[in-house]
């Protein structure tokens, strides 16, 4: 993996971290009862979650491409491949792949988005993104800086 690829990954991590700061801030104010009182804020929350998930996918795709692994058919499989390749713990890859699947609902509106799921992500799953960053940084450190 070249220095420029690592810089690209770090740029995506930086964007994800900025999103998480904003999402964590708004998570303190939002409940399932009030989440739709301000639709602009609600849409911003949805978009923040979507972009955060896309950062996860982008980082996974960059790593897969740089390692010459076969490109998976779905975004969910992309994250699962990081687990199978020992870049992420497999159980964690499985967990975060569920959030990656939720991205399709956000983007394509396959069904009515349940605001309870949005609140659940805000209240209970933002740390999954933090763990993802940790695992990616740890893998890069162990494989490219040791």
Q: Token pair 């409940």 is at which residue?
A: 31
pLDDT tens column, 3-18:
999 999 999 999 999 9
The DSSP result for 17-44, as a single string, is HHHHHHHHHHHTT--TTTTTSSHHHHHH
Task: Give the per-residue pLDDT at 114.
Answer: 87
The DSSP result for 59-113, as a single string, is HHHHHHHHTTPPPPSSHHHHHHHHHHTTSS-HHHHHHHHHHHHHHHHHHH--SPP
Chain center to CA of 132: 7
Please check the confidence at residue 111 and state whether its pLDDT lies above 80: no
Q: What is the pTM of this model?
A: 0.94
Domains, the chain, with CATH or none: 3-144 (1.20.120.580)
Q: 109: pLDDT confidence band, cut at 50, 70 and 90?
A: confident
Task: Give the per-residue pLDDT at 146.
Answer: 65
pLDDT tens column, 74-90:
999 999 999 999 999 99
Task: Give the per-residue pLDDT at 70.
Answer: 95
Burial of 91 (0-12, 13-18, 19+ CB in 10 A): exposed
Task: Give the per-residue pLDDT at 71.
Answer: 95
């Amino acid at each position: 993996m070249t220095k420029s690829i690592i810089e690209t990954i770090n740029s995506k991590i930086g964007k994800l971290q900025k999103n998480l700061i904003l999402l964590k801030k708004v998570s303190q104010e939002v409940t399932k009862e009030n989440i739709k009182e301000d639709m602009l804020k609600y849409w911003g929350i949805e978009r923040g979650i979507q972009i955060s998930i896309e950062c996860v996918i982008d980082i996974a795709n960059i790593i897969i491409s740089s390692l010459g692994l076969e490109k998976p058919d779905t975004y969910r499989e992309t994250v699962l491949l990081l687990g199978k390749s020992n870049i992420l713990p497999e159980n964690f890859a499985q967990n975060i792949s569920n959030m990656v699947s939720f991205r399709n609902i956000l983007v394509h509106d396959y069904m009515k988005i349940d605001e309870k799921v949005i609140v659940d992500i805000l209240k209970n799953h933002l740390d999954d993104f933090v763990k993802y960053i940790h695992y990616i940084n740890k893998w890069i450190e162990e494989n490219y800086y040791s």
